[in-house]
Amino acid sequence: MAKYETIIGLEIHLQLKTKSKMFCSCSNDADNQLPNSLVCPICLGHPGTLPTVNQEAIKQALMMSLALNLKINKKSKFDRKNYFYPDLPKGYQISQFDEPLAQNGHLVIEANGQTWSIGIERLHLEEDAGKNIHQNGKTLVDFNRGGTPLAEIVTQPDFKSPAEAKEFLIQLRLIARYLGVSDADMEKGHLRCDANISLRPSGDYDFYPKTEIKNLNSFKAVEKALEFEEKRQAKLWDEGQAPKTTSTRGWDEDKGETVLQRTKEGSADYRYFPEPDLPPLIVDQKLLTEINAQLPELPLAKKDRFVKEYGLEGKDAWVLVYQRKWADYYEKIMSDLRAWLFEVKGVGPDTDRATELWESEKAKLSKAAFAWLTSELFGLLGNNFKMEDLKISAENMAELVKLVYEKKINSSAGQRILKEMFAGTDDDPSNIAERLDLAQIDDDSTLDDLAIKVIMTNPSQVEEYKAGKEAVLKFLVGQFMKESKGKANPQKAEEILKNKLK
Ligand code: ZN
Ligand code: MN
């Protein structure tokens, strides 16, 4: 048993993907914009201006809340969080304090075949601050980000290791992308994470003062910073010097260590009070029902369905689920293959016979389709390939899988055809097979002739094989394939040669 138990909780800021900012009509798309070009008297906090709540931000926060199984508060309110900092023009941030939008949820995550549930304490809405840019010993301020909408998500201290915390973030990013509420790109600051960590002796149920690590901006940084902190605190415990106060530390990427920044302010230091310029936030039941109905299938549910419906391995299903567009593409291929299977076997699609047939064939077809997609097609894509640029329809991809599946072509011919499909127009793979003369040789007497020719022209290798050197068979199969101009089925070639050399 480990000497200490690690306790980790996360506070996540997710930048919502609305058109305008949280409380004014300035654009929320700061990419490639000049500094301080997306500002107005409201987000700059000029006296006499009034904020209005962005309804789209509320919708997106509600979607995220539902995906995290949070209980939505029918009535919540906005508060002012007061602090002084150059990037905060009003001198306060509009946030939600004691009555957040949503509370008490959980997210089930799965990694390496294990499933566990992480409690979510709350989700609330707030506005972002601007950005300080430190340059040549000066500090410049860009207010473009000031007032952009954020959903702050606070988890329960339910993570037992840095790896779990990282996995959670990866899944949270995926969910935000599925919902379309954020690009959730950590490197671009759409998803920012503070991590709290403390240790306790194993078997102890108390909580001890924690360290908060601020502004981790990559998944790797989250894991590395927590691992460093786990070791640092274990050493302190070993030396009888366990932390006595809560502190805030930063992550120094270059040194690979956390650095003390300050001991933590309590919430009282922010002098929270209700925002007098905004009415309470009331969530209408009708809106909630509407949003619930619009929620897409979430990643874990999709993965489970892929396993059940197509007989895929869990890890393969995740490969697809992680890239939603490819998951959709894969489903189109599979639906084509299913329709084709029922057609060639002459069974009606909604019959017991169809169910039975699908159950017996689905794993083979889905694995073949998965391999053609992820090993072969993905192998042809460059690093920056956009799926929108793919010229191969799912229908033609299914056709290719079929040709190989029915042994009309062998897999190296399939690879050649795929390259043609990828480079050219969306041509039918059977047309390409015909054009390139790649149809597999299936005729037994032709195959027999080829085998005899290979045996006659390679007497010394045949001799060696007969003397027990089995590895030589590979060479002979190679000769066979060469003679057939790559059009034989290599397994079949091996079989025939073996029989003839018995
Ligand atoms: Zn504005
Ligand atoms: Mn916050």
Distance 152 CA to ligand 2 centre (A): 6
Q: What is the pLDDT of residues 220-251, one digit of tens each?
A: 999 999 999 999 999 999 999 998 999 999 99
Distance 208 CA to ligand 2 centre (A): 23
Cα distances (Å, whole numbers) of residue 441 to 76, 119, 420, 492: 72, 60, 21, 10
The SS3 call for residue 450 is helix
Q: What is the pLDDT confidence band of residue 409, given thresholds at 50, 70 and 90?
A: confident
Q: Which one is predicted more confidently, 265 or 76? A: 76
Domains of the chain, first to last: 4-294 (no CATH), 299-435 (no CATH), 444-500 (1.10.10.410)
Distance 438 CA to ligand 2 centre (A): 61
CB 101 within 8 A of CB 123: yes
Distance 25 CA to ligand 1 centre (A): 6
Q: Using N-to-C axis directions, what is the helix angle for 55-67 and 285-294, rounded to 10°?
A: 60
Q: What is the pLDDT confidence band of residue 265, given thresholds at 50, 70 and 90?
A: low
pLDDT for residue 267? 62
Closest CA to 68 of 14, 113, 18: 14
pLDDT for residue 426? 67
Distance 42 CA to ligand 1 centre (A): 5
Ligand that comes closest to the CA of residue 192: 2
pLDDT for residue 264? 62
CB 342 within 8 A of CB 349: yes
SS (H, E, C) 75-123: EECCEEEECCCCCCCCCEEEECCCCCCEEEEEEEEEECCEEEEEEEEEE
Cα distances (Å, whole numbers) of residue 447 to 235, 256, 404: 71, 63, 18
Q: What is the mean pLDDT of the chain?
A: 92
- What is the CA 181 to chain-centroid distance, rounded? 14
* Other C-beta atoms lying within 10 Å of the C-beta of residue 94: 21
Ligand that comes closest to the CA of residue 193: 2
Distance 126 CA to ligand 1 centre (A): 15
* Other C-beta atoms lying within 10 Å of the C-beta of residue 343: 10
Q: Which letter, b or e, does each residue of 177-198 get, where b requires 16 or more Cβ atoms within 10 Å of its Cβ?
A: bbbebbebebeeebbbbbbbbb
Q: What is the pLDDT of residues 455-497, one digit of tens each?
A: 989 999 989 998 888 888 999 989 888 888 888 888 888 888 8
Residue 46's identity, in one-letter code, is H
| DSSP symbol at 191 | E
Rounded-to-integer distance, Cα 305 and Cα 145, Å: 39
Distance 19 CA to ligand 2 centre (A): 21
Task: Note the maximum CA span of the chain.
Answer: 98
Distance 93 CA to ligand 1 centre (A): 14
114 has a pLDDT exceeding 90: no
Ligand that comes closest to the CA of residue 123: 2
Distance 28 CA to ligand 1 centre (A): 9
Ligand that comes closest to the CA of residue 124: 2
Q: What is the pLDDT confidence band of residue 304, given thresholds at 50, 70 and 90?
A: very high
Distance 183 CA to ligand 1 centre (A): 21
* Other C-beta atoms lying within 10 Å of the C-beta of residue 208: 16
- Find the helix or strand (DSSP H, E) in which 248 lies: strand 247-252
Q: Which one is predicted more confidently, 462 or 150? A: 150
Distance 240 CA to ligand 1 centre (A): 52
Rounded-to-integer distance, Cα 402 and Cα 355, Å: 20
Ligand that comes closest to the CA of residue 81: 2
Rounded-to-integer distance, Cα 109 and Cα 172, Å: 9
| DSSP symbol at 20 | B
- Give residue for tokens 């080829």: 450
Rounded-to-integer distance, Cα 420 and Cα 160, Å: 50
Radius of gyration of the chain (CA): 30
pLDDT for residue 450? 87
CB 6 within 8 A of CB 197: yes
Rounded-to-integer distance, Cα 298 and Cα 179, Å: 8
Ligand that comes closest to the CA of residue 42: 1
Distance 482 CA to ligand 2 centre (A): 66
Distance 128 CA to ligand 2 centre (A): 8
Rounded-to-integer distance, Cα 109 and Cα 116, Å: 6
268 has a pLDDT exceeding 70: no
Distance 117 CA to ligand 1 centre (A): 39
Distance 102 CA to ligand 1 centre (A): 26
Q: What is the pLDDT confidence band of residue 2, given thresholds at 50, 70 and 90?
A: confident
Distance 295 CA to ligand 1 centre (A): 30
Q: Using N-to-C axis directions, what is the helix angle for 411-423 and 394-405, rounded to 10°?
A: 160
- Burial of 244 by CB count in 10 Å (0-12 exposed, 13-18 middle, 19+ buried)? exposed
- Find the helix or strand (DSSP H, E) in which 165 lies: helix 162-179
Closest CA to 331 of 300, 353, 362: 362
Pairing of the two strands 257-263 and 79-82: unpaired
263 has a pLDDT exceeding 70: yes
CB 489 within 8 A of CB 407: yes
Rounded-to-integer distance, Cα 295 and Cα 120, Å: 19
End-to-end CA distance of the chain: 59
Residues 134-156: what's their mean pLDDT?
96
Neighbouring-strand partners of residue 151: 14, 125
Q: What is the pLDDT confidence band of residue 175, given thresholds at 50, 70 and 90?
A: very high
Distance 189 CA to ligand 1 centre (A): 20
266 has a pLDDT exceeding 70: no
Residues 373-388: what's their mean pLDDT?
88
Distance 57 CA to ligand 1 centre (A): 15
Ligand that comes closest to the CA of residue 151: 2
Query: 229 φ, ψ to 5°?
Result: -65, -35
Contacts with 278 (C-beta within 8 Å, 6 or more apart), sequence order:
51, 53, 77, 78, 94
Q: What is the pLDDT confidence band of residue 1, given thresholds at 50, 70 and 90?
A: low
Residues 403-410: what's their mean pLDDT?
88
Contacts with 134 (C-beta within 8 Å, 6 or more apart), sequence order:
140
Residues 342-354: what's their mean pLDDT?
89
Distance 129 CA to ligand 1 centre (A): 12
* Other C-beta atoms lying within 10 Å of the C-beta of residue 322: 15
Distance 334 CA to ligand 1 centre (A): 48
Rounded-to-integer distance, Cα 499 and Cα 502, Å: 5
